[in-house]
Structure 1
């Protein structure tokens, strides 16, 4: 039995759809003529940039990164609002962010022969709000809060491997590259809007759908 972890906000959850809907409501509430998708993309890029290569101490939560990223996005766009309140409103919508259609069936199939877990740049409390939380055991969840490192820093993948993770299933370019460069076994799931970094190492294994994963894990886990 292998321990297989999944990225949360790209491999399991369609975060762009969920986040866009939240930002549409936020923009409408402020009377802004700004597309929710544009706000999401700006916030998401800044959020990832805030996490990149951050020292482990003093620890900065995902929620705080989200607030900082939104404050920077608003400032760059000349939007006047309370970024702390809007970031809290955004994260309050996490229970509504949809799973990709193959997730429940795919994780059920994988769990027949393997331990299913999560490896994510998120806080524990925020993870528990998501629809993915009901699909995995808490002791198989490895968050940045628990591991004290953020993707794509090698430390998070190394600490996951030290904890016993055998295979990681990412979708995004930075997660795929980070896991491969850290030496973790990878099976990438192809998701709309995500691609492999052409300048980085290429995954040996890739699936179009998580229901295809059990057959590939026979080779990847070994």
Structure 2
């Protein structure tokens, strides 16, 4: 169990943890596929995404996340032997600001903000997160994006940059995320305590890994109950 009194900072992954990125991804990709008379299940779309996205992010040289999503759509088109228009190739990135916030998130963040400093460490561009931040409706004490660091989680640089800004001992930092691959694994490597938000019927958008969180919760409401019950 966690010693909840030891933490000063809570950092969060955004897309997948605070934002229902699986619904956002599947809706955007399905809309394009349907125009071409092609239908794929949610599971298949997420399987393609989870295979393609990290490969694009791992290529030499940094790409903005908007461009990563463009490349993802190109790869999906190639895999399905389709030809997407320029608008269709850009549609996944354009949809991101409208991806839905999980219903438990806003209230949980407001409650946690009363006790902890809050950070976001996200694999996204500054302008894309700015649109999402309006919907989250909480003032984060720190936002670290992939664009700022010029790398993508699970690269340790993203966490090291956050640490440099927080100026906090690792024992006083708790990282909260949905992705074992992008977040819990690097937290393990760095000795940062972590919470895996294992939402029901979710998790198909990221690669599997053997990372081990300190605590598992089904949503942020459950996390808030643990951290704020004293």
Task: Give the TM interval when normalised to the shorter protein.
Answer: 0.7 to 0.9
Q: Give secondary structure in 2 for the equivalent of 1:202.
A: coil
Tell me, in whole angstroms, the C-alpha distance in 1 between the residues paired with 2:47 and 2:211. 25
- What's the RMSD between the two structures over aligned residues? 2.7
**Cα-to-partner distance string for 1:125-151 (whole Å, 9 max, x where unaligned):** 111222665433365211111122211
**Do 1:157 and 1:184's aligned partners in 2 also have CA atoms closer than 8 Å?**
no
The residue number in structure 2 matching 1:202 is 212
**Do 1:116 and 1:136's aligned partners in 2 also have CA atoms closer than 8 Å?**
no
With the length of structure 2 as denominator, give the TM-score of the two structures: 0.80
**Cα-to-partner distance string for 1:150-188 (whole Å, 9 max, x where unaligned):** 111122122222221622111112021122212222122
**Do 2:51 and 2:207's aligned partners in 1 also have CA atoms closer than 8 Å?**
no
1:90 and 2:92 aligned: yes
Tell me, in whole angstroms, the C-alpha distance in 2 between the residues paired with 1:25 and 1:131. 25
Among 160, 182, 186, the alignment partner of 1:178 is: 186
Pick closer, same or farther for the CA change 1:133–1:139 going to 2, 3 Å. Answer: farther
Tell me, in whole angstroms, the C-alpha distance in 2 between the residues paired with 1:160 and 1:111. 18
1:206-217 equivalences under 5 Å are 206-214=216-224, 216-217=226-227
Q: Which moved more, 1:117-126 or 1:65-74?
A: 65-74
Tell me, in whole angstroms, the C-alpha distance in 1 between the residues paired with 2:188 and 2:211. 7
Pick closer, same or farther for the CA change 1:17–1:106 going to 2, 3 Å. Answer: same
Pick closer, same or farther for the CA change 1:95–1:63 going to 2, 3 Å. Answer: closer
Tell me, in whole angstroms, the C-alpha distance in 1 between the residues paired with 2:151 and 2:223. 27
Among 168, 177, 190, the alignment partner of 2:198 is: 190
**Do 2:123 and 2:153's aligned partners in 1 also have CA atoms closer than 8 Å?**
yes
Among 174, 180, 184, the alignment partner of 1:167 is: 174
Q: Give secondary structure in 1 for the equivalent of 2:175.
A: strand
Tell me, in whole angstroms, the C-alpha distance in 2 between the residues paired with 1:18 and 1:199. 23
Tell me, in whole angstroms, the C-alpha distance in 2 between the residues paired with 1:217 and 1:15. 25
**Do 1:179 and 1:186's aligned partners in 2 also have CA atoms closer than 8 Å?**
yes
With the length of structure 1 as denominator, give the TM-score of the two structures: 0.83
Pick closer, same or farther for the CA change 1:199–1:104 going to 2, 3 Å. Answer: closer
Tell me, in whole angstroms, the C-alpha distance in 2 between the residues paired with 1:95 and 1:115. 24
Tell me, in whole angstroms, the C-alpha distance in 2 between the residues paired with 1:70 and 1:46. 9
Tell me, in whole angstroms, the C-alpha distance in 2 between the residues paired with 1:131 and 1:148. 20
Tell me, in whole angstroms, the C-alpha distance in 1 between the residues paired with 2:152 and 2:208. 22
The residue number in structure 1 matching 2:32 is 26
Q: Give secondary structure in 1 for the equivalent of 2:223.
A: helix
Gaps of 5+ in 1: none
**Do 1:172 and 1:194's aligned partners in 2 also have CA atoms closer than 8 Å?**
yes
Number of aligned pairs?
213
